[in-house]
Amino acid sequence: MSLSSGMLAGKVAFVTGGSRGIGAGIVKRLAKEGAAVAFTYATSHEQATQLVLSVEAGGGRAVALQADSADAAAVRGAIDQTVKTLGRLDVFVNNAGILLRDTIDQVSLHDLDKMLAVNVRAVYVGIQAAARHMAEGGRIVTIGSVVAQRSAFPGSSSYSMTKAAVAGLVRGVAIDLAPRGITVNNVQPGPTATDMNPPDGPLSEVIKNLIPVKRFGTDDEIASLVAYLASPEAGFVTGASLTIDGGYLA
């Protein structure tokens, strides 16, 4: 398929936390569908550079921008820079997130505040800034988690709370932006093979036994759902939290 004939040809997308894992998978898929893609990274400069080169080698266009999602001004600045560099903004994907695991009697307020800053406040700030640049037909997608509905393991209560907050935010923002023809949706991956959740990690076999299909998801599978929600075909889908979890919540 030619990039010029992809379902996102001529569109501009912005992805937070796009240098690795699920974020990198999303960047590559949106670029494959014809979008010019800007993405942020916090510290992974080398990975970000390699991702840009990979997209360009496939005939696409990508721009890497350093921005810590915990810094609201940096998030707004990266979105503004995307519009300045690429001319517009059609798709905003908030993928950046952090997990600091500890039980409720042990988690520190410092760690809680860090997770809230990246997992909740940055989503709010990013959506707010992106929506100001979007025309009718804009697409906003957040990457949440099935832990919003099922924690399953000790130590994930704070993280689960942040992802539940994102699901609630998406429902309200979808109503706010519906009159402008902008859709807002939340993708909730189940256990997915990433650096944060390696398929050969110490709990991997326990986790797989909780998944009916008995395997972890892949970056490409999550990115495929994001690409659909970013496309013109998804114009009647908004305010939804869609799980992609191999039956984990079934």
Q: Active-site residue 41, yes or no?
A: no
23 is written with which tokens? 């974020």
Q: Determine how β-strand 139-143 pairs with β-strand 91-94.
A: parallel
Token couple for 203:
């709990």
Residue 166 in tokens: 């994102």
- Please give the Cα distance from 42 to 40 (Å, whole number): 7
| Rg of the chain taking only CA atoms, in angstroms | 17
SS3 16: strand
Distances (CA, A) of 111 to 45, 51, 78, 149, 176: 24, 30, 25, 22, 31
Q: Which of 41, 159, 228, 248 is catalytic?
A: 159
What are the residues whose beta carbons fall under 8 Å from the beta carbon of 58, sequence distance 6 or more? 3, 28, 31, 32
Question: Which residues are tagged catalytic?
Answer: 159
